[in-house]
Amino acid sequence: MTERRVQLYEAAAELFTRHGFRKTSIEDITRSAGVSKGAFYLEFRDKKELFEALVRREIRRYLAQAAEQIIADPEGGRLSRIYHHCIEVFLRCEFLCALYTQQERVLAGLLSEHGPQRYRPRVLLGAEFVGRLQRAGLIRHDTAPETLSHTLSLLMVGPLLAEPVLHTDDSPTLAETFAVLSSIITTAFEVPGSDTAEGKRAFATLAREMTALLDEDDH
């Protein structure tokens, strides 16, 4: 990746988060990045291509950072800890969070062409991943992997989507809300005393597979 492309990504992430897609111009991005408009067109066809490439780049970074934290955590292979680290890293990714909590502003100008699912990444702990944890004895077997995967998606994405609607001055932070949900996952689904190494391997595999799919979209 060229230094010029990195500069454009960094500038675009900040400006799209602050002003949204529609109100951010290519001139705004190149000025902030310190590159010429001609240099922009050597990297991207237009602003939309930059936006979509930026989404893929930020998801790759998110997956790598989450996997790193999960591996470093002695209990990182447990479902509740995987959930905790996925959320903790996600909340630090301002651009990705803005795709959910500030959808109308950030995605304005894109939603008429595509639904938000094209640009809002799913934090995906899929059925195959859940099944691996069940086979490793890390979580209970009395819930179908597809059902549990869907539930986890709701527990991840739901608070982000609800935040703009439900937030008041007295509301807890998103981090506090997700901490409560993590404790619920521990009580409801985990098997105490199980070996967590397989859970770490399962998430590392998931991160590699998702990254490979993102890489394919870059070509």
Mark whether 139 and 71 lie in a shared domain. Answer: yes
Burial zone of 141 (CB within 10 Å; 0-12 exposed, 13-18 middle, 19+ buried): exposed
In a domain, 50, yes or no: no
Q: Both tokens of residue 202?
A: 């399962």
Mark whether 139 and 79 lie in a shared domain. Answer: yes
Note the pLDDT of residue 157.
Answer: 87
Mark whether 35 and 98 lie in a shared domain. Answer: no
Reported as a single tens digit per residue, the pLDDT across 59-118 is 999 999 999 999 999 999 999 999 999 999 999 999 998 888 887 788 777 755 555 556
Mark whether 37 and 130 lie in a shared domain. Answer: no
Note the pLDDT of residue 128.
Answer: 92
The count of structural domains within the chain is 2
Mark whether 150 and 179 lie in a shared domain. Answer: yes
Mark whether 78 and 25 lie in a shared domain. Answer: no
Range of the domain at 138: 59-217
Mark whether 93 and 33 lie in a shared domain. Answer: no
Task: Return the number of other C-beta atoms located less than 10 Å from residue 147's C-beta.
Answer: 11
In a domain, 54, yes or no: no
Note the pLDDT of residue 160.
Answer: 86
Picking from 86, 8, 76, the residue whose alpha carbon sits closest to that of residue 43 is 8
Mark whether 94 and 178 lie in a shared domain. Answer: yes
Note the pLDDT of residue 115.
Answer: 54
Rounded Cα distance between 80 and 82, Å, is 5
In a domain, 51, yes or no: no
Give the angle 157-135-88 at the CA atoms, nearest 5°: 30
Mark whether 40 and 74 lie in a shared domain. Answer: no
Mark whether 12 and 72 lie in a shared domain. Answer: no
Per-residue pLDDT tens digits of the chain, which is 219 residues long? 789 999 999 999 999 999 999 999 999 999 999 999 999 999 999 999 999 999 999 999 999 999 999 999 999 999 999 999 999 999 999 999 888 888 778 877 775 555 555 666 655 688 999 999 999 999 999 999 999 999 999 999 889 888 888 889 999 999 999 999 999 999 999 999 888 999 999 999 999 999 998 888 776
Note the pLDDT of residue 1.
Answer: 76
Mark whether 92 and 200 lie in a shared domain. Answer: yes
In a domain, 131, yes or no: yes
